[in-house]
Amino acid sequence: MAFEREREEMVVRQLEARGIHDVRVLDAMRRVPRHRFVPSELIAHAYEDTPLPIGEQQTISQPYIVALMSEALELGAGARVLEVGTGSGYQAAVLASMGAQVLSIELLPSLALRARSVLAELGLDDRVRVLEGDGTLGASDAGPFDGIMVTAGAPQIPRPLLTQLTPRGCLVLPIGEQDVQTLVRLRRSEQGLTEDYLGECRFVKLHGAYGWDQH
């Protein structure tokens, strides 16, 4: 299979070596062809330890960050996930390959169109639905969600997303300044919200009603 060895090396050297333990995450990232989600001129770099540009001033995240955020959601079997910022569609493909049902919202129509196409070609369109719109508002008519993931740097926690979590759901997002953020997991429970800090990261800016457009 094309790039199978590269995917295995990516998992061993970039993910397992850095402490990613969730077998479902590792298996999904062994299976999902990351090279299908990058521009053709960058295919040779698809499994490198770096984010890559995908057009529209957006990027496909570094594989380790995709794995870390996927693991942080603590998803159970058949979990329902909202993704804010479809981008290339790779993160949604990984979540779907873990067994989740994913609703992904993308602000940029050109990226949404391409992601839908690639996901369909890979047979994942039955597990991932891509909508166009302001993901910072969530999708209240389709919730609640067991996990919500924001894949762009936010200046604040988009409050509508917190109301769309199930009682034990997790929200994972990068939050902070425009050039550097902290990856945060908010876990909902009967006692309220708990926060875990998962390290420093760098994402493109989150746009929308609860993004940088209001700052």
**Exposure string over 69-96, b if 16+ CB within 10 A, otherwise e:** bbbbbbbeeebbbbbbbbbbbbbbbbbb
Residue of 40, 61, 104, 140 marked catalytic: 61
Per the annotation, the verdict on 88 as an active-site residue is no
Which residue numbers are catalytic?
A: 61
